[in-house]
């Protein structure tokens, strides 16, 4: 298998031993760089410069069929470049994944039930020691303003390992990754099965995508050492699922914009490797409905600082590039800031949203060496080596109170 160049980002195991070389041959990539004008996001102004009468342009994701994705001999590098490359939106989607539609519905329909559990029950599902990154979390994460985020609740768990490690020192050092899962087995037992089933499927599909990312990113580069994104993710014990429930937002006026009001999810860039994401499920009083506001949804900020609304099908799995992969690929696979805008107006009264994200990322003891001059994102740690676990703790410092 082809591998990602590491000339600006070195990953090594805790023992500093070389990675095993990938077992597949390099597949030549058909690169069309830069992509043709018709494939690029349309030029737009930032939201703050727009009036309420000028809607933000909407762009559909580059889509790859599951049939293409699972074929290791298929050359889909051009699609990877259009979605993840320097001129892409940092997101693409996978269609026709067997079994996905049912697993998505089964899990997302449980989110409102979880959020409506009695407060004393939900407190039993909290884990302050992990800074609420295991089990239930509500009002603990900070927005850009520094205020607690009260508009969404989250349930975090590792979909593969209930107990990632039994080493007490690791649990103390990296509690958000090494602590055990907390399941509401007595009050909502079906959550565990649904969470694990969807999480594993999203991971399996993401690993297939990682293989093709390796093929694309290695094209034309001399390998000094084999560093494979797929192998990094295969051996990781750090994958974290997040079931999100967005509480009904206060009624908003149409003159407010995405940057001036607290959206359902504020601007951020994922710090891990790849994030798998389901399309949101909208409900009101336990009844499913389509989103009542066409302006609501996922927004992405492009590399040039422009804003675009992104759409993908409810039966597709979207994948977004994280900062770790951007550095590993020397900027060939690009992470982008994104946010979720809540629906506004009378029709949005009482509307809630549920979705699921799987954060695919290196193991906590993988060593990351950041280049001194590459500091494009807010969480970069230049001029030194740091484990992914320590890097994550620095990220959490920004969004959570250090003392929990």
Residue 163 CB coordination number (10 Å)? 11
Q: Taking residues 235-258, what's their average pLDDT?
A: 74
Domain ranges of the chain: 58-249+260-399
What's the pLDDT tens digit per position in 298-334? 999 987 888 999 999 999 999 999 988 887 787 889 9
Q: Which two tokens stand for residue 301?
A: 């900020």
Mean pLDDT of 159-188: 95
pLDDT digits (tens, 9 = 90+) for 360-390: 999 988 877 665 544 444 445 545 567 777 7
* Residues 126-147: tens digit of each pLDDT: 999 998 999 999 988 766 666 7
Contact 322, 334 (CB under 8 A): no
pLDDT in the model for residue 145: 62
Which of these, 236, 230, 234, lies nearest to 211 by C-alpha position?
Answer: 230
Position 114 confidence tier, pLDDT thresholds 50, 70, 90: very high
- Mean confidence (pLDDT) of the chain: 79
pTM of the model: 0.80
pLDDT of residue 143: 63
Residues 61, 83: contact at Cβ < 8 Å?
yes
Query: Using CA atoms, how far apart are residues 250 and 343, in angstroms rounded to an integer?
Result: 9
d(CA 314, CA 60): 12
Distances (CA, A) of 180 to 126, 165, 197, 269, 275: 12, 8, 18, 26, 21
pLDDT of res. 19 = 26
Strands 135-138 and 317-321: unpaired
Look at residue 120 and tell me whether its pLDDT is greater than 70.
yes
Return the structure tokens found at 39: 């494939």
d(CA 395, CA 386): 13
Cα 99–Cα 102–Cα 105 angle in degrees, nearest 5: 145
SS3 343: coil
- Compute the half-sphere exposure of residue 383: CA atoms within 13 Å on the CB side of its CA: 0
Predicted confidence at residue 14, as pLDDT, reads: 35
Domain 58-249+260-399 falls in which CATH fold? Answer: Jelly Rolls (2.60.120)
Average pLDDT over residues 256-266: 53
Return the closest-CA partner of residue 359 out of 208, 156, 181, 112: 156
Q: What is the pLDDT of residues 175-225, one digit of tens each?
A: 989 999 999 999 999 999 999 999 999 999 999 999 999 999 876 443 334
Highest mean pLDDT of the ranges 30-44, 76-90, 254-268, 366-380: 76-90
Take residue 239 and report the two structure tokens written for it: 């994958």
pLDDT at 88 over 90: yes
Q: Say if residues 314 and 347 touch (Cβ distance below 8 Å).
A: no
pLDDT of residue 371: 55
pLDDT for res 397: 61
Residue 95: predicted pLDDT: 98
């Amino acid at each position: 298998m082809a591998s990602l160049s590491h000339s600006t980002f070195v990953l090594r195991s805790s023992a500093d031993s070389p990675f095993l070389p990938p077992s597949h041959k390099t597949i030549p990539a058909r690169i069309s760089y830069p992509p043709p004008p018709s494939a690029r996001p349309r030029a737009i102004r930032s939201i703050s410069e727009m009036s309420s009468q000028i809607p933000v342009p909407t762009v559909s994701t580059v889509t790859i069929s599951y049939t293409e994705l699972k074929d290791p001999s298929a050359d889909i590098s051009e699609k990877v470049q259009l979605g993840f490359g320097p001129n892409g939106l940092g997101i693409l989607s996978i269609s026709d994944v067997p079994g996905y539609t049912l697993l998505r519905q089964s899990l997302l329909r449980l989110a409102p039930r979880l959020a409506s559990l009695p407060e004393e029950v939900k407190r039993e599902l909290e884990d302050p020691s992990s800074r609420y990154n295991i089990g239930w979390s509500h009002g603990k994460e900070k927005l850009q303003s520094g205020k607690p985020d009260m508009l969404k609740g989250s349930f975090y768990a590792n979909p593969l390992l209930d107990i990632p490690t039994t080493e007490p020192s690791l649990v103390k050092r990296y509690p958000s990754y090494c602590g055990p899962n907390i399941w509401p087995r007595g009050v909502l037992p079906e959550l565990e099965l649904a969470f694990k089933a969807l999480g594993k499927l999203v991971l399996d599909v993401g690993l297939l995508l990682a293989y093709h990312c390796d093929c694309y990113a290695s094209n034309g580069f001399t390998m000094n050492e084999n560093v494979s994104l797929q192998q990094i993710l295969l051996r990781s014990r750090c994958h974290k699922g997040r079931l999100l429930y967005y509480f009904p937002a206060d009624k908003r006026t149409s003159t407010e914009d995405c940057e001036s009001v607290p959206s359902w999810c504020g601007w951020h860039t994922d710090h891990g490797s790849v994030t798998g994401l389901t399309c949101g499920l909208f409900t009101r009083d336990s009844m499913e409905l389509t989103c009542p506001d066409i302006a609501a949804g996922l927004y992405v900020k492009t590399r040039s600082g422009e804003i675009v609304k992104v759409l993908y099908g409810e039966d597709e799995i979207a994948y977004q590039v994280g900062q770790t992969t951007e550095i590993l690929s020397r900027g060939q696979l690009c992470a982008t800031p994104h946010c979720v805008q809540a629906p506004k107006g009378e029709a949005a009264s009482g509307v809630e949203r549920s979705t699921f994200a799987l954060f695919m990322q290196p193991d906590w003891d993988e060593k990351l060496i950041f280049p001194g001059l590459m500091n494009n994102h807010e969480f970069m740690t230049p001029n030194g080596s740091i484990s992914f676990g320590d890097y994550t703790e620095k990220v959490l410092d920004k969004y959570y109170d250090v003392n929990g």
